[in-house]
A and B are shown apart, each in its own frame.
Chain A
């Protein structure tokens, strides 16, 4: 670990000015990803600006019937929040499916969104990795890639985004509030993360110094929502694939729905093709399978992760079956 200076952010604008003005500066929140990367030499900042003292630690109702979740709200508090449990079950479930009790007590909303890939080569500075060291190559394509992408990857990077929470946020049409050098702006969570293309070093569209201040949840399309995560053991493991789904079911039909897949791409994958098949349809096993097939038609698995295509299909069908027969899957 190289030496760095530590500063506590006094106010949001000051924090942005400090970090935007210093190329080697980074924000620190719960530290569960950043401190790991400091130890691994994956992150080599010369200044760490701690944002946990900023006034972003609240969950507040919004005039439109939605919720504003502050960027430093801890994952455990958000998962246990009564309004989140009642109206946004998919979000509570996604948070509780992630990491461990201790980690969720530390991890924040902002840090969770900006956590970086768990690709083992990204975390190992002795290997080639275009995300960590642009132009050095991608060790995963011909190496270990069981956990890697089946959708939207590029010849430069096949990593997946590891967050469970972000998948739920995409299915909820959530928006991130960002404070940058030129003021505040709102970015749909779906547009926050990027596909790798030829710039896998950039996980998101954020600029250096941009500070996430909150996540806004609109009033839910329906309280009928669920998160399903498939992994190699029943707890404390990252997703192989996951599904977040929200469905408005009335008069025996899917009036509307929002679906996102996790563990399959460089970003939470909004399943527009599946949604189109489901909309106005009568829930049935055939409809769900058609929806899943439509979404996965473009899947391009690597030699060792073809199982993910069938797994994503199965997980999506099972989630929809659960959602449409009961309240949760």
Chain B
């Protein structure tokens, strides 16, 4: 079945007719040519499709596009965080770059969650921007190139 949805993507309003089966990830990439979010596993296991949906980091591969009519989507291409981009470059926080758009969106969402005082599984008392907090909070973003050391350093630097 078809449905027409209007979403704001990286600040631009877009209207598109989608089959109800279409995920937000496929709507962005295949229907709207917004290719910043990547398809890694398509099952919620890798984080490469991470976007900010109404301000929170989510996995666009497990969201049905039709369920998010009216939503505001921010991808790595529209992320208002140049600092994070610079620290990723400065710290060699990627190699092939495939996971990077998801890492960036996840990092941006994660820094907001930390600012709001949200705990994580390793939090003892008040959460801080320690390496172990970053590792735990970024556990949903895999990197096949293993750039983790750089990713943690980049996020720590950007968050300071």
Contacts and interface: CB of A to CB of B under 8 A. Distances in A.
B64 A31 contact: yes
B139 interface: yes
Nearest to B49: A102
A209 B47 CA distance: 33
B116 A80 contact: yes
B113 interface: yes
B121 A235 contact: yes
Contacts of A103: 44, 59, 62, 140
B58 A97 contact: no
Contacts of B149: none
A1 B47 CA distance: 22
Interface in B105-119: 106, 109-110, 113, 116-119
A279 interface: no
Interface string A24-58: 00001011100110110000000010101000000
B44 A36 contact: yes
Interface in A262-303: none
Interface residues of B, number: 39
B62 A36 contact: yes
A202 interface: no
A76 interface: yes
Interface stretch (B6-14, B19-27, B77-85): B19-27
A6 to B, nearest CB: 4
A35 B22 CA distance: 10
Contact of A32 (B44, B135, B138): B44
Interface in B100-132: 106, 109-110, 113, 116-121, 123
18 contacts: A3-B20, A5-B1, A28-B64, A28-B67, A31-B67, A32-B62, A35-B62, A36-B62, A80-B117, A96-B120, A100-B140, A100-B141, A101-B109, A101-B113, A102-B47, A102-B57, A106-B58, A236-B139
Give the top 10 A-B pairs by smallest Cβ distance, nearest first: A100-B140, A235-B139, A236-B139, A80-B118, A96-B121, A6-B20, A105-B56, A35-B62, A6-B66, A102-B59
Given A3-B1, A103-B59, A106-B62, 5 more contacts: A4-B21, A5-B1, A100-B141, A101-B110, A105-B57
